[in-house]
Amino acid sequence: MATKIPEEINLHQQSAYLTLKYPEASYDLSAEYLRVHSPSAEVTGHGPGQEKLQIGKENVSIQSIVPVGNYAVQIVYDDGHDTGIYSWEYLYELGCEHAERWGRYLQKLKEAGYERVKQ
């Protein structure tokens, strides 16, 4: 399968969303969603079963997006997180699987006894 590279990436800083446009689809992904699904070790851990639930990221914003070669972008967040390298494949997965991943994340927060507070 060919790598899905977005035709456009638009950062909407005011609303804290990133829009990824592909020939067949467009995905609006919130900064919170992207932050809590960062591919960094801080979020994923160093192996299966070591994932760390990210709490309190409701109001996080994206400060910048930095290209990484021809294969990825690094997203810099206003909470200081900047170690996640989002490959084109992973960004496409995050768009395609948004509903399922977001639902699982909200369920995990609920199970942890955390109530989201969006400003």
Q: Which residue do the tokens 């395609």 mark?
A: 96
User: b/e string for 110-119 if b means 16 or more Cβ within 10 A?
Assistant: eeeeeeeeee
Q: Is the pLDDT of residue 119 over 80?
A: no
Share of the chain above pLDDT 70, in %: 98
Q: How confident is the model at residue 107 (pLDDT cuts 50, 70, 90)?
A: very high
Torsion of CA 93, 99, 100, 102, to 10 degrees: 90
* Position 34, amino acid: L
97 token code pair: 């699987």
